[in-house]
Amino acid sequence: MKNLFIFIICFSIGLISLTESFAETTVSGNITSDTTWTAANSPYIVEAGLQIFDNVTLNIGEGVQVKIKAGIRIRIAGTLIVNGTNDSSVMFTSFDNNKWYGIQFINSKNSIIKGSIIENSLQAINLDNISIVVFENNIFRNNYGVIIDMQGYQEMNFVNNTVYNNTEVFSGIRTDGENNIFSNNIFENNTSVFKDGYYFGTTIIENNNFINNNFVIRAPEEGYGYGTVSIKNNWWGTTDQNLIENYIFDKLDDVSLQLLDFNPIKDSPILNIGSSIVSQSTTTTTPSTTTTSIQATTSTTTIQPTTTTSIQAATSTTTIQPTTTIQPITTTSLPETSTTTIIGTTTTTVPAHQCAAEAIYGSDSEETDLLREYRDKVLSKSASGRQMIKTYYELSPAVVEVLQKNDTARASARRVLDSLIPAIREKVER
């Protein structure tokens, strides 16, 4: 009993302090001097147009969340440096369910976007004039367009990214020079990947996984001035040459275009490519290049991702295969002491089947769902929050045992949590 009340007190203090410590910063207008955004002042709410002037750098550090209101664009004439990490990525997302416009680079030649999740935009990235941006270890999901390039020519470096559930990935791309690299990426469940482009110099599209995309690439035209595209050593989701041809529009379809030689091909999904970010499940989950396996001991079940997945058995193996359309996974209750292994990312131990909140409120209650949202949307964004999550799940089994046997203890714990619910709800709904 003593351990239970210590747990409740520590849990309450932690929730209160973390709730109060999360700042919110509203930004708009012009940034005219070097500026750094930090997790301590996150989330940053972009409520109107935001511009970064020439010769000015905006640094966005790990763990920062940027929420942009509908139709709003961030314009970069200077330099944008996004430096998220695998465990603490930078998130660009919509303020609500309406799409924000995107990030426009205007003659920005030294920008880097690394370790970020960019989602729910109309045009995630717009490269205007000569804008050279390095894209590495990012997740792009649920955007209409990922990278749009309608006016400029620049070298492209797009490596180790995971791109899924978008409409147009690359549109109007204009590559220039001999170092245009698109490699080690996962493109999955997109309507088109390289929809159209103007390829000058040498463009290398190799060592990628193309899975369940409707269309992959339109070849450059024949003639003076047009460059070459190498699209070899990729996995196409199949080894059937005829099916692969259907993903490509080239000389076989239009005599004015170049013939693209896609051989040799990979005969299975390429492992350890794509982003290694531990995905934040704001809108959906990251597909894997092979399978997502939840290991246990005896039986095997295959399921498709749905809005809510609840797995009750404690001794089963569940394999989730990527499908043409992956719906958002809002809540997942997993078996006790399971391990989730995602190829190409990291290995995460899943908490016990029942936690203290479920023992107090029940597994399907509004309060339990709210606490899960608070865990995913607020606590998981900071190192201190993630440590609290870890400690909570370490202590939960012993606490649950007490709560199940002692109605008085359960009632006391509920009163404490009830007093915190309004503040938690306010934070989640921001």
Domain boundaries, the chain: 32-249, 292-429
Cβ atoms within 10 Å, residue 78: 23
For the cut 90, the answer to whether the pLDDT of residue 425 exceeds it is no
For residue 33, with 0-12 CB atoms within 10 Å meaning exposed, 13-18 middle and 19 or more buried, which class applies? Answer: exposed
- Residue 330, both tokens: 């809002």
For residue 2, pLDDT over 60 is answered with no
Helix locations, 183-274, DSSP H: 241-246
Closest by CA position to 283, among listed 114, 97, 83: 97
Q: What is the pLDDT of residue 200?
A: 86
Nearest of 387, 384, 414, 393 to residue 18 by alpha carbon = 384
Rg for the chain, CA atoms, rounded: 24
Q: How does residue 303 score in pLDDT terms, banded at 50, 70 and 90?
A: very low
User: What is the per-residue DSSP string for 8-37?
Assistant: HHHHHHHHHHHHHH---EEEEEEE-S-EEE
Rounded to an integer, what distance in angstroms lies between the CA atom of residue 44 and that of residue 126?
Answer: 21
* Contact present, 65 and 37 (Cβ < 8 Å): no
Determine the Cα–Cα distance for residues 136 and 112; give it in Å rounded to an integer.
8
Please report the pLDDT score of residue 323 as a whole number.
39
Question: Nearest CA to 370 among 311, 306, 307, 426?
Answer: 426
Q: What is the average pLDDT across 33-59?
A: 97
pLDDT of residue 340: 36
Confidence of residue 316 (pLDDT cuts 50, 70, 90): very low
DSSP 3: H
* 358 vs 48, more confident: 48
Residue type, 85: T
Higher pLDDT, 113 or 349: 113
> Residue 117's pLDDT band (boundaries 50, 70, 90)?
very high
Q: Provide the pLDDT for residue 398.
A: 81
pLDDT digits (tens, 9 = 90+) for 84-96: 999 999 999 999 9
Predicted confidence (pLDDT) per residue in 144-160, tens digit: 999 998 777 788 999 99
Taking the C-alpha atoms of residue 360 and residue 205, their distance in angstroms, rounded to an integer, is 53
Q: CA nearest 190: which of 251, 221, 147?
A: 147
Residues pairing with 123 in the sheet: 145
CA distance 355 to 404: 11
The pLDDT of residue 419 is 83
Identify the band that residue 50 occupies on the pLDDT scale cut at 50, 70 and 90. very high
More confident residue, 102 or 420: 102
Tokens of 152: 């400029």
pLDDT value at residue 374: 86
Q: What is the pLDDT of residue 328?
A: 41
Look at residues 2, 11, 1, 3 and name the one whose alpha carbon lies nearest to residue 417: 11
What pLDDT score does 394 carry? Answer: 79
Torsion sign (Cα): 12, 373, 88, 341:
positive
| DSSP-assigned letter for residue 392 | H
Q: What is the pLDDT of residues 361-386, one digit of tens each?
A: 887 888 888 888 888 877 876 666 77
Reported confidence tier of residue 9, pLDDT bands at 50, 70, 90: low
pLDDT interval class at 319 (50, 70, 90)? very low
Give the separation between CA 378 and CA 369, rounded to whole angstroms.
14
Which whole-number Å values give the CA distances from 175 to 131, 138, 152, 372, in the listed order?
Answer: 11, 20, 9, 44
pLDDT one-digit tens code per residue, 403-415:
788 888 888 888 8
Q: What is the pLDDT of residue 12?
A: 55
Assigned token pair, 237: 């989701």
pLDDT tens string 24-36: 899 999 999 999 9
Mean pLDDT of 174-197: 93
Average pLDDT over residues 309-334: 37
H-helix or E-strand containing 294?
A: strand 292-295
The share of the chain scoring above pLDDT 90, in percent, equals: 50
Using left for φ > 0, alpha for ψ between -120 and 50, and beta otherwise, residue 337 falls in left
Q: Which pLDDT band, with edges at 50, 70 and 90, does 14 fall under?
A: low
Q: What is the mean pLDDT of the chain?
A: 80
Query: How does DSSP assign 309-362, residue by residue?
Result: EE---SSEEEEE---SS-----EEE--TT-EEEETTS-EEEPPPSS-HHHHHH-
Structural contact between residues 273 and 209, judged by C-beta atoms closer than 8 angstroms: yes
pLDDT at 30: 98
- Cα torsion for 244, 247, 251, 255, to the nearest 10°? 140
Tens digits of per-residue pLDDT, 221-274? Answer: 988 668 899 999 999 999 999 999 999 999 999 999 999 999 999 999 999 999
Q: Provide mean pLDDT across the span 213-225.
A: 89
Average pLDDT over residues 112-117: 98
- Structure confidence by residue, pLDDT tens digits, 281-302: 544 444 544 433 333 333 333 3
Tell me the per-residue pLDDT of 329-351, one tens digit each, with 9 for 90 and over.
333 333 333 333 333 333 334 34
pLDDT at 387: 76
